[in-house]
Structure 1
Amino acid sequence: MKLIDNEIINRYIYYLCRYIPYDKKELAKDEIMDILQRRLPIAYTDKDIKDELNRLGNPYEIGLKYSNKGNFLLNGKSYEIFISMIYMLFSAGAVSLILFFFNYFARISKLGFFEILQTIILTAFMLALIPSWICEKVKSTKILKTFMKAWSIDDLYESSSIKHSIYGIIFILIYSSMFFLLQLYTKTGNIEKSTYNIIILLFFVNVLRDTLRISEDSTVSNIVYVAYIFDLLTISIFAILLKFAIPNIFPIRVIIFMNVVDILYMTVNLFRDKNIISLRKKRKRENRNRKYKKIDEDK
């Protein structure tokens, strides 16, 4: 078997590349493979691989040397995610502007074209920046946490990144354009200010969900459960708003549909990767038992 096909090595490389910039992933992978090829015996075993990887150390720590210097409030991959989200949100804003002209042209005079444009630009920028900054803090906290305890190759469970497809981009573009359209609808109509603020908050929650998902690059991370909460929260609040505060217009129906699709998609992934989840729970249970045993021995 080739080294690149080894499950243990793939796990290590996955965690090494998880938070580093996209353009550095191949370099990091090649350097680790080169080190292993030089150090491992010709007739290597899984134990030899584990010993060598444990000798190399925490993959998050090695990954730090591949991170770029900070840009504004963000570093490396978080900055790249921010730029990607800016492009997608601006594109969604442009789509929503076209839809608004065709469906609610009479409302434009209530704000004016330039104020509508300013609203979209400011919203897109803030919704790209703040979630990316939160991802940066989540990443830093998670990496720091791994430095504060003993590390082992057995602590790594996953071996493959999320396959980011055109469908994921289309998903973000659709719900973002609907949220922008809903934002313009409420801003130009006789809708309560509190309702408008709730809609912007839900928009933020949905963008944060996907930004965290891209940053974590995992279908079984704890972020998945956060995403479940965000989806259910969005559906529940819109159900209340439709009953008391806002008409049942098509952007809301599309957003709710997209949240339902997201819940189904995550559920399928959790069932598919249930072995990884079981392994992670088992490892955490073993670590907890070792910790309690050590405390009892110290007494």
Structure 2
Amino acid sequence: MNLIDIYIQEVTRRLPEKSRADIALELKSTIEDMLPDDYNEEDIKEALSKLGNPAALAAGYRDQPMHLIGPRYFDVYISLLKMILPIAAAVSLISLAAEFIFNFNRDEAIINMILELVMLFNHP
């Protein structure tokens, strides 16, 4: 396989099955039009670099948007995150504290409990 075929394969594998063949032919024709008559490996690399990343090119051929949250719902999404994340952190902290309180062994020193809490919050 040459570079052109590899590039076309990388683009088309990200597309729906039904449109792969047509887009592959179109893309091959476009690349051949970009190349001079007596092209070499460097000319091919230059032409493919002008086309850009195969994933980005494939996204341009797709009929559907490639994002989970569009501009219409982005503000609502951020507002919900700002509301839910502190609540989730508080619930986690309360449940962690309750676990240490109710499962506290008298043999453990309080410093061990504090160190475990610090380690839990500092661990990614």
TM-score by length of 1: 0.21
Q: Which has the higher helix share?
A: 1
Greater Rg by CA: 2
TM-score by length of 2: 0.48
